[in-house]
Structure 1
């Protein structure tokens, strides 16, 4: 079984203070924090999509609405720069170099986003080449999965103070604080994104969130890509049991990185690619009850240079410019999404291919089921040895099958395949 996913956390709004270049002015209030809170809607929103099936963004944390972009988050378009700051502690001599730790995450994290975005986005890493020493022993920060705000604030305070003067934070869009994984107080379960309701200020720039990395060497698969997804306003899609027991992957199984970085098919949902601006409006089709809609869906992971098995069984190249997503609105804040998944690209280890169907709820916040995969084969399971949740491993509608979405008057039929590997689909509403 895979280790439990890593939740992001938030810290409350800081007390009013003057804007200063130095980080020193924020340390007193930051260290006094004693509770957590969730960041809600931003004060500024940019218009993003007028598509008829684009759900409106709500105040839910990481809302799946996409008619506007939350400007509190950097938009992953073109190129963003990320700094990796490596932190050592006085109670331990590092046994590994910053360069080796950087190689644990890059270029793999950048390559994941390059494939997921069809080459539209580049995440460029800038690792600091030497250790930056923290003032206290690693055990002083009481790192653990459900980290107290007080200890987390002390860690951020000391890390920013130690890095200030050595790192020009104004040059970077994303900040990673990477701890020495062998230090005795470091707990890999503490890896997460820390959000600030009131941004920190350093080098004339606001720092709204920091990815705190405590991964062992080598790290968990795609963990930094998952955490970076939060930096781009993507929610956690896993289910966290209230008693700490039970399965975490009941909402989406293997089917999106934000559900599990261990998934067999961890490419981002087409809905997320739409949200991030990696799909053009013409690549999204809105289906209504007017009449049945026949369309051709290109495999989600198909992009420039990605070989997709065609109908004749020979690999052909899908250019990634075709329709990727079909949507049926089911309410003011809900929709059904349909996309084709195939074992190529980021999904190369997918258990089953076909038409994946899922519900999107823009009013549900991160970790509370904003996306739910609908199982087209609820009586069967697949890939027991490798899947994070075998009941959903065979969720897609297979070739030649028709499936009526439970509770909805919506039917999808996977009618055929084209010579280039796309799926011909018929969706009927009503």
Structure 2
């Protein structure tokens, strides 16, 4: 269950003046995304680790962008519930907190193999905003002025009751039934110049406008941005057409409605949830055989689809194989099975995808390659049926022709892992 929100003790360091807050937000509103690399923390340098670039939410992982919290420990998150003078809330803070927790914490607990714990601290009452909800013009493509005004007012009314120095994540949750609230506007606001409250820098805030009940796993998706993960969906220019052509169901950062929403192994490596021994860098040419554990398997979790009855995977074996294809690109191979966060996966097998370190968020930094391009699957509930059957199945072979790389699924182990043969180098 979510933890109860502790009231702020004493006066302590205060939020900078309202005028200063407005000036800072106005200055950054037009360029609210953090676009450049900050001071970096070293990361394990291995041959197939792409370098981090200036692309927003770069998929490079040779270093960690220290402007973002790295989720390798317990992290506390405060949920502040905002009401408006033009509406009486029809839900309670407890109901809205339960919409997102403990589900969000459980997702990350499973995805990280227990290496990260997200602890929610929801307030137990509403805090009134000074202006009607309609005054902020809340919508998906929010104007910088409206967003700045909203954050300015939210920080001003919350600061007397919240000690922001205690929390690594801030969720501002709006009354979903207020007339000016648009559920499609939920997003993370990144600040080029951080705000300062209670002696701590607020570099990003999650603004939540979800209806009750909310979209599935939406808060987990937005929290992923807090950890420097990119959007993996493709937004059509006219907002018409399919948004899920890049990765389909296969990662939460593509769609929170996906049938297999666990984070890609590449993302787990980036976040520090995979040890170096769990990643195999495939040689640039020749044959490499590797046994890949299902991405969602962890100690004590049953693995289905193995040879024989379901058994228990160790959860600590190899999760990712990588072939470098260029200075800023790789092909990645991982096993997906209906286990962990992927219990509703449409198909099992070896998922192949391309990673580009220079592609920014929303521009296809990861693209799943379809091993069955002439078919689709799970059309009744997949977010993108053409990619629902993308994995290479048992006994199948798939060739990435542009790269001259072939993957064969040779068998499965009694524990449910996949025996894979990767042949790199163009055939002669």
Per-residue deviation at 1:31?
5.5
Q: Which residue of 1 aligns with 2:251?
A: 256
Residue 290 of structure 1: how far off its partner (Å): 4.3
In the alignment, structure 1 segments of 5+ residues that lack a partner are: 1-19
Show the counterpart of 1:304.
299
Aligned to 1:29: 23
In the other structure, the counterpart of 2:221 is 226
Kept in 1, the 8 Å contact 2:294–2:334? The answer is: yes
Counterpart CA distance in 2 for 1:289 and 1:361 is 17
1:31-430 map, 5 Å:
32=26, 35-309=30-304, 311-430=306-425
Cα displacement (A) at 1:406 = 2.9
Partners of 1:91 and 1:62 in 2: CA distance: 37
CA drift of 1:27 comes to 2.3
Contact 1:23 1:161 in 2 (8 A): no
Structure-2 change in CA distance of 1:31 and 1:303 (3 Å):
closer
SS at 2:286 equivalent: coil
CA displacement at 1:311 relative to structure 2: 3.2
The superposition leaves residues 240-263 of structure 1 with CA deviations (integer Å, 9 ceiling, x where unpaired) of 111222110000000000000000
- Aligned twin of 1:5: none
**Residue 310 of structure 1, CA deviation:** 5.2
* SS of equivalent to 1:27: helix
**Which residue pairs with 2:8 in the alignment?**
none
8 A contact 2:331–2:353 mirrored in 1: yes
Residue by residue, what CA displacement relative to the aligned partner does 1:345-382 show, whole Å, maximum 9, x if unpaired? 10000000000000000000000000000000000000
Contact 1:274 1:280 in 2 (8 A): yes
Query: What do residues 42-77 of structure 1 show as CA deviations (whole Å, max 9, x unaligned)?
Result: 330111121111000000000000000000000001
SS of the aligned residue for 2:37 comes to coil
Measure the CA separation in 2 of the matches of 1:72 and 1:406. Answer: 39
The Cα offsets for residues 261-282 of structure 1, whole Å up to 9 and x where unpaired, read as 0000000000000000000000
State how far apart, in whole Å, the 2-side matches of 1:208 and 1:183 are. Answer: 27
Q: Deviations over 1:359-417 (max 9, x none)?
A: 00000000000000000000000000000000000000000001101311100000000
Deviation string 1:172-222 (CA, Å, 9 cap, x unpaired) is: 000000001111111101100000000000000000000000001100000
Structure 1 residue 128 displacement after superposition:
1.0
Change over 3 Å in CA distance of 1:31–1:364 after alignment to 2: closer
Paired with 2:284 and 2:366, the residues of 1 have a C-alpha distance of 23
State the alpha-carbon separation in 1 of the partners of residues 166 and 22 from structure 2: 25
Separation of aligned partners in 1, 2:56 and 2:33: 7
Q: Is the 8 A contact 2:21 2:195 kept in 1?
A: no
Q: TM-score, normalised by structure 2?
A: 0.94
| In 2: Cα distance, 1:344 partner to 1:292 partner | 29
Structure 1 position 127, deviation (Å): 0.4
* 1:130 partner SS: strand
- Secondary structure of 2:125 counterpart: coil
Could you state the TM-score of these two structures normalised by the residue count of structure 1?
A: 0.94
- The 1-side partners of 2:308 and 2:325 are apart by 37
Aligned 8 A contact 2:307 2:412 in 1 = no
- SS of the counterpart of 1:272? helix
Unaligned runs of 5+ in 2: 1-12
Count matched residues: 411
